């Protein structure tokens, strides 16, 4: 359950005259694992929406409209958009498995529900709601940020630096959505809604065991 309030709120809006993708301030929430005695986790969520127009190059890994990631890139692209989920776990050093010197076998996994609203501009440049449609996903798996989704890395980081706390990191880079608008109108992604961000570890993990954290949201970008 979410036990903290949003530390920052992202307003869902659109200014067609602005340049570059819209990326507001991150949203922070505090959640506690569903399981009895589970750890608390700070979840930092940040979305990226391609703006002012939606004009992705689906097969490109270069330029401001790219949708493909290059080697060692772990973030949403400007062309297709997406979001990141950074976390910090609290109390890892008090877990029996950590105290026993276990390594943290098996990794973390994460998923989220998403809804992207698309459409066309009207003659005056505003968003034409009569053209709008929504692309939804349910519990879409998120990718690790480098090796930071590995439980072994999280445990090792806590041992290496006793002054800090760590957690797994994830991201989602969306695929391009193909649609057309009338001549003289522009394709637009009006906004992004993310909800039910779920992070979990399997029962076989020798430090965390079975734990599931849920940041319900919704979060708007």
DSSP calls for 54-93: ---BTT--SSTTB-SPPTT--S--TTT-EEEEEEEEESGG
pLDDT at 17: 39
- CA–CA separation, 218 and 212 (whole Å): 18
pLDDT at 85: 97
- CA–CA separation, 117 and 136 (whole Å): 9
pLDDT at 25: 79
pLDDT at 37: 85
Farthest-apart Cα atoms in the chain, separation: 66
How many contiguous H segments (helices) and E segments (strands) does the chain have?
A: 2, 10
pLDDT at 79: 96
pLDDT per residue, tens digit, the chain (221 aa), is 433 333 333 333 333 434 456 556 789 999 999 988 889 999 999 999 999 999 999 999 998 999 999 999 999 999 999 999 999 999 999 999 999 999 988 889 999 999 999 999 999 999 999 999 999 999 999 999 999 999 999 999 999 999 999 999 999 999 999 999 999 999 999 999 999 999 999 989 999 999 999 999 999 99
Q: What is the pLDDT of residues 61-90, one digit of tens each?
A: 998 999 999 999 999 999 999 999 999 999
């Amino acid at each position: 359950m979410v036990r903290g309030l949003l530390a920052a709120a992202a307003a869902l809006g659109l200014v067609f005259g602005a340049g570059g993708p819209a990326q507001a301030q991150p949203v922070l929430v505090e959640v506690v694992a569903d399981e009895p005695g589970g750890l608390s986790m700070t979840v930092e969520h940040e979305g990226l929406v391609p703006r002012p127009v939606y004009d992705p190059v689906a097969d490109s890994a270069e330029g401001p409209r790219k949708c493909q990631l290059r080697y060692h890139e772990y973030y949403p692209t400007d062309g297709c958009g997406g979001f990141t989920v950074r976390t910090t776990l609290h109390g890892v050093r008090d877990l029996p498995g950590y105290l026993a010197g276990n390594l943290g076998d098996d990794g973390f996994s994460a998923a989220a529900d998403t809804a992207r609203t698309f459409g066309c501009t009207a003659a005056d440049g505003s968003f034409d709601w009569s053209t709008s449609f929504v692309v939804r996903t349910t519990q879409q798996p998120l990718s690790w940020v480098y090796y930071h989704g590995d439980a072994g890395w999280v445990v090792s980081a806590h041992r290496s630096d006793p002054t800090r706390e760590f957690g797994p990191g994830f991201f989602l880079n969306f695929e391009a959505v193909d649609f057309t608008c009338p001549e003289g109108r522009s394709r637009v992604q009006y906004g992004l809604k993310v909800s039910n961000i779920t992070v979990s570890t399997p029962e076989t993990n020798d430090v965390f065991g079975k734990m599931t954290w849920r940041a319900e949201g919704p979060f708007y970008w």
